[in-house]
Amino acid sequence: MLDILHVSPEVVPYSKTGGLADVLNALPRAQSRLGHRVSVVTPLYDAVDLARHRVVFAGHSFPVTLGGRTLDFEVAQADMGDGVTCRFLRNDELFGRPRLYGDGDADYGDNHLRFAFFCAAVFRMMRALRLRPDVVHGHDWQAGLVPAYNRLHLLDLVPTVLTVHNLAYQGQFPAHVLPEIGLPWEVFNPDGIEFYGKVNLLKAGLVWADRVTTVSPTYAAEVLRPEFGAGLEGVLRARGNEFVGILNGADYGIWDPRHDPRIAAPFEPEDLSGKAICRAALLDEMGLGSVQGPVFGVVGRLAAQKGFDLLAQAIPVIVAQGGVVVVLGTGDAAIEQAVLAAAAVHPGQVAVRIAYDDGLAHRIEAGSDFFLMPSRYEPCGLNQIYSMRYGTLPIVHAVGGLEDTVIDLDEHPDAGTGLKFRAFEVAAFLGTLERAFALHREGPRHLAAVRRAMAADFGWDVSARAYLELYQGIVARGGHPSGHQD
């Protein structure tokens, strides 16, 4: 049995801006169900609903000093289910704010301090609560200083893993912040935290963690190349086989049409009558009335990463053939405007909600016929996995986790679960939409694909075991005595 501590800036159900938060709910619980002792630590943001989630203050508080400045932290905790405890680190000056990372498009100016203090406070908490994890597993740049402090300040107290959920978000700050986050100038070099003259918190994690992972095997291979590596391809290549891709899973406790309280009617592969009800309810909710043609659903951050610029060009083509497009997302103002403008031309066939709405995300997955995910790059992606379970065939760009989870129907007629295009070009995307319309007209082939997609299994069990195997490698190798931290 291992004692595992996950360190993450977001955790469902307390805080969420993307797929990372979903992972931090499902992975720890899956590991716990396999018999390990698992806990999670995250900042206590204003957005966390203390009463609803029964967050209790444990009576522990301590000071943390970094770069000559001392701040006090308090520890709270809540039960995540399956035996997993989530601990919250509270400092209102840093985290008592309405948003996680910034207001609108502008990040908070002190994010380096916020997450440096968070990482330092994790180790202080371990001491105060006498926690002795066998491995500390950090997630994304906000946890990048966990491996750094562990190596540089604490003499490798504990084996560490860092998982990159999206290499494009690195936490880069001007060089002068280095003393504020408590690191010496000796590590400000290309083998350390320096990145083209800046401080890069993700890079710190990539350099000093015992193992580095990302969230799909294909993305792990792609990021070794300059097109996908966001400047860090050399750092990752240098890690050799200490850098691996482990596919994310889906939490079918939350995302399954058999028992989803947010959708109009339950359904299953053997009886899809509920899906027709969900489809009608979705069209009604979006003000579209009844339509014969296929419904194309979209849910996601409206960012360039997601390829939604292609979407604006695809909308007229879908509409011309009698299809309907339903979009839910927030993000980049220019992409929001482009999608809204395309929708305004076709009010009866295109509906757009610029919002973050978890219930509607479920209803779009349930009520659509196809799900569009033309991402430029995609570390793993969860929505295509959810859509398959809801019998909504994903149409995806064949990159990263999209390549690893969706099987193209024309390439593999007896195994296909969706449709893929390979070149990131409008013509290729539109060609795939043509294939979707053709499929929709062919009842039996479409139905067989829907049933196959619904039966595909991306549960967390396999991935949770893969992480455990990875931990075993570093715990055994290091032989870290768990007693020396007091």
Q: Residue 50 burial by CB count (10 A; 0-12/13-18/19+): exposed, middle or buried?
A: middle
Q: Nearest distance from residue 13's CB to ligand ADP, in Å?
A: 12
- Letters for 337-356 (x = contact with ligand ADP by CB under 6 A, - = none) are -------------------x
Q: Among residues 247, 122, 146, which one has the least CA distance to residue 201? A: 146
Interface with ligand ADP, residue 86, by CB under 6 A: no
Can you tell me the distance from the alpha carbon of 5 to that of 84, in angstroms, rounded to the nearest whole number?
10
Shortest distance, position 379 Cβ to ligand ADP, whole Å:
7
Residue choice 2, 3, 13, 18 for contact with ligand ADP (CB under 6 A):
18
Q: 74: phi > 0 → left, psi -120 to 50 → alpha, else beta; which? A: beta
- In the bound complex, what is the minimum distance in angstroms from residue 453's beta carbon to ligand ADP? 16
Helix (H, G, I), strand (E, B) or coil at 194: strand
Interaction of residue 329 with ligand ADP, rule CB under 6 A: yes
Residue 444 identity (one-letter amino acid) = P
Which residues have CB under 8 Å from 20's CB, separation 6+? 8, 9, 10, 139, 140, 165, 166
If binding is defined by CB under 6 A, does position 99 make contact with ligand ADP?
no
Judged by CB, which is closer to ligand ADP: 71, or 340? Answer: 340
Identified binder of ligand ADP from the candidate list 9, 19, 367, 418, rule CB under 6 A: 19
**Residue nearer to ligand ADP on the CB measure, 22 or 408:** 22
Burial class (CB in 10 A: 0-12, 13-18, 19+), 176: exposed
Give 411-418's long-range contacts (Cβ < 8 A, gap of 24+). 415/452, 416/449, 416/452, 417/388, 417/393, 417/449, 417/452, 417/453, 417/456, 418/384, 418/388, 418/393, 418/394, 418/449, 418/453
- Show the binding pattern over residues 25-64: x = contacts ligand ADP (CB under 6 A), - = does not: ----------------------------------------
E strands, 28-91, in order: 37-43, 56-66, 69-81, 84-90
Among 300, 307, 323, 394, contact with ligand ADP (rule: CB under 6 A):
300
Cβ closest to ligand ADP, residue 13 vs residue 18 = 18
Rounded to an integer, what is the distance from CA 328 to the centroid of its chain? 17
Whose Cβ is closer to ligand ADP: residue 304's or residue 468's?
304
**CA-to-CA distance for 256 and 66, rounded, in angstroms?**
45
Shortest Cβ 356–ligand ADP spacing (Å): 4
357 binds ligand ADP, rule: CB under 6 A = yes
Contact 92, 98 (CB under 8 A): no
Q: Which is nearer to ligand ADP, 242 or 357 (CB)?
A: 357
Q: Does 297 bind ligand ADP (CB under 6 A)?
A: no
Interaction between residue 328 and ligand ADP (CB under 6 A): yes
Q: Would you count residue 381 as binding ligand ADP (CB under 6 A)?
A: yes
CB of 139 to ligand ADP, least distance (A): 12
Among 92, 104, 152, 150, CA closest to 123 = 150
Residue span binding ligand ADP (CB under 6 A) among the ranges 168-176, 199-207, 271-279, 322-330: 322-330
**Could you say whether residue 169 binds ligand ADP (CB under 6 A)?**
no
Smallest gap, in angstroms, from Cβ of residue 25 to ligand ADP? 10
Is residue 321 near ligand ADP by the rule CB under 6 A? Answer: no
Residue nearest to ligand ADP (CB): 19
- For residue 109, count CB atoms less than 10 angstroms from its CB and return exposed for 0-12, middle for 13-18, buried for 19 or more: exposed
330 touches ligand ADP (CB under 6 A): yes
CA distance 380 to 378: 5
What percent of the residues of the chain are helix, what percent strand, and what percent coil, each to the nearest 5? Answer: 40, 20, 35
Least distance to ligand ADP, CB of residue 361, Å: 4
- Residues of span 412-431 touching ligand ADP by CB under 6 A: none
71, β-bridge pairs: 64
22 is an interface residue for ligand ADP by CB under 6 A: yes
Among the listed ranges 289-297, 299-307, 410-418, 448-456, the one in contact with ligand ADP (CB under 6 A) is 299-307
Strand partners, 90: 74
What's the burial of 354, exposed, middle or buried (CB within 10 Å: 0-12/13-18/19+)?
middle
Binding-site ranges for ligand ADP (CB under 6 A): 18-19, 22, 299-301, 328-330, 356-358, 361, 380-383
